[in-house]
Structure 1
Amino acid sequence: MLVPAVLLLGRWLGTLHLGDPVATALGTPVGYARIALLVTAVGLAAFGTSAAGPILFVALIAPQIAQRLAGRATPPLLVSAVTGALIVLVGDLISRIVLADARLPIGVVTGVLGAPVLLWLLVRANRTGSGG
């Protein structure tokens, strides 16, 4: 239901990264784009959480890993989605195969595995001065 909206609104993400004046000059309706992207993102997060449970870590780490793996040459939305799917798949496999006796939810497994990666990326970005 929201996938067509994501595909249509995804083209504005590149211009919004350039800043408001440049995005406006390129013809992007900045205010409308932000509201539409926000509503779509909240809807997707709500559907995903209701279906899979609270796997909050994936939303934080998948775009960071995808950006470092693919660079800026490929569409960030597609690469982030594939990276997030792979993270959830690996977490599910670990929780089902390796930790079969513990029966931990996938959200716990992805959080335990992903928190050190997220902290490492934050520390690395802070050391290089690209953390914002």
Structure 2
Amino acid sequence: MVEELIAVIAAYGIGVGLVHWLRRRSREGREGTKHAVIVTRDAGSIVEWHLRALAFGQWLKSRYTKITLIDEGSSDDTLRIAERLLGKLHAEWELISAATPSEAQSRLARIGAVHEIVVIRGALAGGAGSAV
């Protein structure tokens, strides 16, 4: 009875290890990399939700994601919240602080190929989140 239980646990462990190894191996080339850009201003209350939703969706699709967050001079905790959360995510990320929306636009133009752009403006900025 104990031997059978140990065999089941060992088989499960081998299966989990194999899945992780194959997933890591498939990410080495990064051919399937997606690049998402999030433009924020005073979105401290909702930026965490957007980042978690993006990361979860990419995790479900087994895609490697690069996340670039451009902040348009927030006066709230947006950058601090994003930096804390992005450090926990398994994705390549970059935080860019822009003083004005026009500076954010010029930085966005220099990024290059982007698969998804999300603009989030909080209550202090007079807007709501929207996908472009």
Which category describes the TM-score, using the shorter chain as reference length?
under 0.3
From the two aligned structures, give the one with the greater strand fraction.
Answer: 2
Larger Rg: 2
Please report the TM-score for the alignment, with normalisation by the length of structure 1: 0.25
Higher relative contact order (CA 8 A, sep 6+): 2
